[in-house]
Amino acid sequence: MNIEELLHREDYTHDDIVQLLNLSKEDEIQNLYKRADEVRKNYCGDEVHLRAVIEISNYCSQNCLYCRNREDNFSIKRYRLATAEIIELSKQISNLGIYTIILQSGLDSYFDTDMIAYLIYSIKQNANIAVTLSLGERRYDEYRAWKIAGADRYILKYTTSNPKHYELYHKNKSLSDRLNHLKFLKGLGFQVASGNIIGLPFQTMDDIANDILLAKEIDFDSAIFSPFIPSPFTPFQNKRGVDIDLTLKTIAVARIVLRNMHIPAPSSLCKIDTHGRIKGLESGANVVTPDFTPQMYKAPFTPNKLKKTELRDSSLIKSNLSLQIESIGRKIADNKGDSFKNQIDLNRYSYR
Ligand code: SF4
């Protein structure tokens, strides 16, 4: 099929998506990015939404084969932030004019139901900010308690739509369970974000196309497609990472297929290309997720003086992002960047 015609279709089959992901001529790839940028502008506008990530803990009781934070990785220094520190950091972020925080951790039972509920409630009392949780696959009663406490959004990746690969990457876990959790979260009224990891070992273009179609089928509020970058001291440490081209093509095709979902340019894009974040924003993305975790945790052996400069560093993160975003004619949103979807049909997401 003619590529121009394919780029302007109303609906996309699996084969259409594979054809777009396989584009290899430079002019066709550039047309794909241009079309994705147009669709982004039509459905999401020019605003770029900032979601400030605070990694509250890097402890995890799971052993996902690709993940640096897996329990069996004894090479990393583990940390947890204190609740008072998280609340203070959230206030600082809100004062910078950033209206979403993402509280992120591995599967860490130290942050139990009550502690997370307390955090959500306290943050919402002190700051005008949307609270997104990214705490892994937790119990259904915990999701419910955290929604009641005021949480707005939940991020839980399906990682792959291929059930066999899912079981390979995540020991003793199943894709169907993960999808039930996602549907339950939607049913509770969370704005839900999910997505894949591009370039994982054994993944094919067919898999990536199915990953995009799964996001469409479940109708997430936000779809996240992030690159696989091998981490040292993990079972996949010697596997080949994905290149920027396939990552950007996936984001662009996802935008064309998924239309009005938020789609981030993941921070990890900057690890595979110096200008990765901007390239992502020019290929269909409308969200960025800068990391506001205090540097003293990320670089545990750096002198304590870093602590005194945290706020200044946070301001710098924001002003640097502003400059980058304005350089491509876009602007940082001054709102929470809620879902573009209007109504959540609760009946559709009954589970069990
Ligand atoms: S649950 Fe999350 S943090 Fe833990 S090992 Fe898996 S991907 Fe990593």
136 lines ligand 1 (CB under 6 A): yes
CATH number at residue 40: 3.20.20.70
Ligand 1 centroid from CA 141, angstroms: 21
Whether 7 is in a domain gets the answer no
CA 10–ligand 1 middle distance (angstroms): 36
Query: Is the beta carbon of 62 within 6 A of some atom in ligand 1?
Result: yes
Cα-to-centroid distance, 255 and ligand 1 (Å): 26
Task: Please say if the pLDDT value at position 250 is more than 70.
Answer: yes
Q: Is residue 20 part of a domain?
A: no
Residue 241 lies in a domain: yes
| Alpha helices by DSSP H, 127-243 | 140-148, 163-169, 175-188, 205-218
Q: How many CB atoms lie within 10 A of CB 351?
A: 13
Q: Does 129 reside within a domain?
A: no
Coil, helix or strand at residue 243: coil
Single out the residue of 256, 191, 259, 198 nearest to residue 224, CA to CA: 198
Burial of 200 (0-12, 13-18, 19+ CB in 10 A): buried
Structural domain harbouring 164: 28-76+157-335
If phi over 0 gives left and psi between -120 and 50 gives alpha, with beta otherwise, what is residue 154? beta
| pLDDT value of position 219 | 97
**Tokens describing residue 297:** 């945790």
Interhelix angle for 14-21 vs 205-218, to 10°?
A: 130
Measured by CA distance, the residue closest to atom 8 of ligand 1 is: 67
293 touches ligand 1 (CB under 6 Å): no
95 in a structural domain = no
- Structurally, the chain folds into a number of domains equal to 1
Give the pLDDT confidence score for residue 120 in this predicted structure: 98
Report residue 295's pLDDT band, with 50, 70 and 90 as the boundaries: confident
Pocket test residue of 58, 67, 160 for ligand 1, highest count of atoms within 8 A of CB: 67
User: What integer is the mean pLDDT of 300-305?
Assistant: 46
Residue found by looking up tokens 């209007």 in the block = 342
> pLDDT tens digit string along 138-182?
999 999 999 999 999 999 999 999 999 999 999 999 999 999 999
Asked whether residue 221 is assigned to any structural domain, the reply reads: yes
Question: Per the domain annotation, does 211 fall within a domain?
Answer: yes
pLDDT of 309 higher than 50:
no
Say if strands 331-332 and 287-288 run parallel, antiparallel, or are unpaired.
unpaired
Q: How far apart are the first and last CA of the chain?
A: 42
> Virtual CA dihedral for 31, 33, 37, 42, nearest 10 degrees?
60
**Does residue 142 lie in a domain region?**
no
Q: Is 135's C-beta closer than 6 angstroms to any atom of ligand 1?
A: no
Q: Which atom of ligand 1 is nearest to the CA of 71?
A: 5
